Structure formats: structure tokens, C-alpha cells
């Protein structure tokens, strides 16, 4: 059986095609491989031959698991449950973590092999959504939440915290971002202490009736001998 890796139908049409499918066929699996498995053409010949034989023999569950291991080597099945006439499949990046901390991709289908394949095909879309969410959350945390927390912890103005973090991260990367706020707080404390010292000196001079006279320049003359 030949697998055409240049089919015209795009990956965007594949999830809907899998959802409407009532059963798995070799032609359907060939379409999945052609449109959703970019690593398949370059995989070792033994692995490629094994997957093709699994598809041709109708072992679609084993073929789906083999494709999962080939295309997403860091991912694995977290949950596979039959409930309400459908198979629920969940793929996991860190299976040892709780659900709310793990990166997961989920899918449902009446056919076991199609549930696995659908979750596998949905991976790019779920990954894009997760990346967008992570970027937005990181920006909100860096520019809105973190400056307020650092302001309260170090009594440094939020604007100064923001500028310090931007300069520190730009010049020295992650280490600069970590050390920027303590460095800015140290400068602010030094400037505040110096200004307080100058105010105290000015207040003391005012109470004494003016500035303290400067000592005369030059050597002090020796007393005259009697």
C-alpha cells in the first residue's frame, strides 16, 4: 500500500473528517499519515514498514499508538475510558503531574482507534492555543502583576520596577531580570538616605543661624613671642 505524502487536502479538514468517520479504513489512516505525520517520511525504514503493515492488516489501534510514539515521542496516553458509547482519549506530556498542571490533549469518538487518532491530530491546534495562553499570561504577569508585587515587597514604585526589569532582562537575560529589582531598590534606598542626610544638615545649619563657616585657608600663623 502506497502512502501519498502530498495529498491536496489540508490538515485543517482532517479533524472534521475523523469526526464524521464511522469506521477506520486503510485509506483514512493513509490520509492521517500524509497530512498529520511530518516525521513519517524520514523515519527509519523498519519503523515505516511496521506502521504500514499494521495499517494494512487492520491493527489500527497499534498503528495509532505507533504513530503517536513516532510523531510525539514525549507524549503518552494518560487516560483511555469508554463512557456513554464513546471512547475518551487523553494524551499527556507529564503523566506524573496532576491534571491541572499537565499539558493534555483530549478527544472523543465511538471507535477506539479513531479516538486515539483524533487526539493525535488535535495536538497542533491544542498546542497553538496553549502557547497563546502561556504568552498572554506571561505578559500580564510580567507587566501588570509582578510590578505591583515587587512594589509592595520592596517599596519601589511599579514604574521603576518595570523599567528595571526591562533593562535587566535586555542587558543580562534572566539573571538581569532577577537582580534588577533588588538593584533598583538599593539605588532608591541610597538616594533616599542621601537626601535625608542633606535635609538634616540643612536643618541643623538653619538652627545654628546659617551655614557653618569654613576654616581659613592657608597655614595658621604662629603666635608672637613676648
* Greater model confidence, 107 or 218: 107
Is position 107 within any domain? yes
Concatenating the DSSP letter of every residue in the chain gives: ----TT-SS-GGGHHHHHHH-SS--HHHHHHHHHHH-TTTTTS-HHHHHHHHHHHHTT-HHHHHHHHHHHH-TT-EEEEEEEETTEEEEEEES-TTS-TTTS-EEEEEESSHHHHHHHHHHHHHHHHHHHHHHHHHHHHHIIIIIHHHHHHHHH---HHHHHHHHHHHHHHHHHHHHHHHHHHHHHHHHHHHHHHHHHHHHHHHHHHTTSSPPPPPSSPPPPPPP-
Query: Are both 164 and 67 inside the same structural domain?
Result: no
Query: Are both 175 and 82 inside the same structural domain?
Result: no
Q: pLDDT class for 7, splitting at 50, 70, 90?
A: very low
Give the phi and the psi of residue 30 in degrees, each rounded to 5: -65, -40
Going by C-alpha positions, the residue among 83, 72, 87 that lies closest to residue 122 is 72
Share of the chain above pLDDT 70, in %: 70
pLDDT reading at 223 higher than 70: no
Alpha-carbon separation of residue 170 from 137, 150, 176 (angstroms): 20, 19, 8
pLDDT reading at 104 higher than 90: no
Query: Are both 36 and 79 inside the same structural domain?
Result: yes
Query: Are both 118 and 174 inside the same structural domain?
Result: no
Domain count of the chain?
2
Query: Are both 116 and 160 inside the same structural domain?
Result: no
Query: Are both 160 and 86 inside the same structural domain?
Result: no
Is position 76 within any domain? yes
Is position 217 within any domain? no
Query: Are both 196 and 92 inside the same structural domain?
Result: no
C-beta separation of 123 from 68 below 8 A? no
Query: Are both 51 and 99 inside the same structural domain?
Result: yes
pLDDT reading at 4 higher than 50: no
Is position 147 within any domain? no
Is position 62 within any domain? yes
Domain that holds residue 162: 155-207
Is position 214 within any domain? no
Query: Are both 126 and 33 inside the same structural domain?
Result: yes
Q: How far is it, in rounded angstroms, from Cα 138 to Cα 142?
A: 6
Q: What is the pTM of this model?
A: 0.48
For the chain, give the mean pLDDT: 76
Taking the alpha carbons at both ends of the chain, their separation in whole angstroms is 128
Residues contacting residue 94 through CB under 8 Å, at least 6 positions apart: 101, 102, 103
Query: Are both 26 and 123 inside the same structural domain?
Result: yes
* Greater model confidence, 182 or 27: 27
What mean pLDDT do residues 146-171 have? Answer: 69
Is position 126 within any domain? yes
Is position 182 within any domain? yes
C-beta separation of 56 from 71 below 8 A? no
Amino acid at each position: 500500500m502506497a502512502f501519498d505524502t502530498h495529498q491536496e487536502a489540508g490538515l485543517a479538514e482532517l479533524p472534521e473528517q475523523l469526526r464524521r468517520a464511522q469506521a477506520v479504513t486503510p485509506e483514512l489512516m493513509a490520509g492521517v499519515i500524509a497530512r498529520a505525520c511530518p516525521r513519517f517520511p524520514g523515519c527509519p525504514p523498519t519503523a515505516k514498514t511496521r506502521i504500514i503493515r499494521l495499517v494494512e492488516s487492520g491493527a489500527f489501534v497499534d498503528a495509532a499508538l505507533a504513530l503517536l510514539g513516532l510523531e510525539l515521542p514525549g507524549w503518552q496516553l494518560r487516560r483511555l475510558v469508554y463512557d456513554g458509547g464513546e471512547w475518551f482519549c487523553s494524551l499527556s506530556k507529564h503523566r506524573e503531574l496532576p491534571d491541572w498542571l499537565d499539558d493534555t490533549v483530549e478527544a472523543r469518538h465511538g471507535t477506539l482507534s479513531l479516538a486515539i487518532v483524533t487526539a493525535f491530530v488535535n495536538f497542533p491546534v491544542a498546542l497553538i492555543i496553549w502557547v497563546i495562553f502561556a504568552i498572554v499570561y506571561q505578559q500580564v504577569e510580567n507587566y501588570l502583576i509582578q510590578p505591583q508585587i515587587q512594589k509592595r515587597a520592596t517599596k519601589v514604585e511599579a514604574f521603576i520596577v518595570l523599567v528595571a526589569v526591562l533593562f535587566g532582562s535586555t542587558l543580562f537575560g534572566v539573571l538581569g531580570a532577577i537582580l534588577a529589582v533588588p538593584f533598583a531598590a538599593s539605588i532608591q534606598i541610597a538616594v533616599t538616605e542621601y537626601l535625608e542626610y542633606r535635609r538634616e544638615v540643612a536643618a541643623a545649619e538653619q538652627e545654628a543661624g546659617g551655614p557653618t563657616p569654613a576654616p581659613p585657608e592657608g597655614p595658621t600663623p604662629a603666635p608672637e613671642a613676648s
